[in-house]
Amino acid sequence: MSAPLESRLRPVLVRRLLFVGRNSDADTLLKNVLEPGSWAIERAPDNATALAMAKAKPFDLILTSEHTSGKEDIELLRKLRRVRPHSRLIILTDESTPEDAITAMRERAFSYFSRPYSKETLANMIRVALEQPTWDDGIEVISATPEWVRISARCDLETADRVIHFFEEIADLPDPERTNVGLAFREMLLNAIEHGARMDSQKYVEIGYVRARHMVTCRITDPGQGFSLDEIPHAAIANPTSDPTRHLRYREDSGMRPGGFGVLLTRHLVDELIYNQAGNDVLLVKYLNL
């Protein structure tokens, strides 16, 4: 059966994406992510041309070339903000430092990827950029150096994805500590947003990161009233030894998503997991064997 006449006559909204440079991997990725017929992809050979094109007309998303440095792309972002203050820009770069990633976050880049990066993570970030209606007020840098970062982040899962990836770019840690700290940080941030803020995007969580010579700490303060580890039946950490899967039944009966292993997992990933008295402020500590 053909579509109603009204829907057939309705104009298709075509959104515009500007891609700087040429990258066959990114081309393939964009074809898989973008809905056919809904996007028009335009190209600019360099950042100067990209800025001129953005001045002439707005783009829904801009991706920089991975063959430019982080500093060059941040300068493009600053100039772009003067003419298109709400443009969504994802930086792809071949040369980067933790300072560049911090500056990109401060200047409200949507996201930041230095090589080598995961194509799957980039694809997901592009989807988030296309779907999130309000994005440029989600992350506020309170103060930041590569050794000490404090930010405030909106309590929604899309903003959490962006925060997690920015911190992956900022953290200068050896493996396997880098992987372990990243996973632990992700679990505790999602816990703060889901259980502390109750997924309320009007609320914010505060995040602190300190990189000392032989130690790294992450502190997450959520806006909730807190909890006791002995009184969270939705989490595996509270299961009695006689019933190690009790929380799974509780989550299913309460209509919660599968999971509940975050605190238990985090305790195995970091050296110390410390909650304040109220239970709405958690400190992760990982010692580095350098």
User: Where along the chain do its domains lie?
Assistant: 12-134, 137-290
- In the predicted model, residues of the chain with pLDDT beneath 70 are 1-13, 23-25, 133-136, 227-262
φ, ψ (nearest 5 deg) of residue 286:
-130, 125
* Pairing, β 215-221 against β 272-275: unpaired
Provide the pLDDT for residue 244: 46
Tokens of 8: 């057939």
Residues 6+ apart with CB under 8 A from 89: 61, 62, 63, 64, 73, 76, 77, 80, 109, 110
CATH code given to domain 137-290:
3.30.565.10
The 3-state DSSP class for residue 73 equals: helix
pTM equals 0.83
Q: Tell me the H-state helices in 87-221.
A: 98-106, 119-131, 157-170, 177-191
- Nearest Cα neighbor of 272 from 262, 289, 287 is 287
Provide the pLDDT for residue 289: 85
Q: Edge-to-edge strands of the sheet including 15-20?
A: 39-44, 15-20, 61-63, 89-93, 111-114
Among all chains, which residue has been given the structure tokens 């997450």? 220
Query: At the fourth CATH level, which superfamily is domain 12-134?
Result: Response regulator (3.40.50.2300)
- pLDDT single digits (tens) 24-69: 567 777 777 887 778 888 999 999 999 999 999 999 999 998 888 9
- pLDDT single digits (tens) 212-251: 999 999 999 999 987 655 556 555 555 555 654 554 565 5
Provide the pLDDT for residue 156: 93
- Nearest Cα neighbor of 220 from 200, 190, 199 is 190
Topology agreement, domain 12-134 and domain 137-290: no
How far is Cα 202 from Cα 132, in angstroms, rounded to an integer?
A: 15
Tokens of 223: 């806006």
φ, ψ (nearest 5 deg) of residue 238:
-95, 0
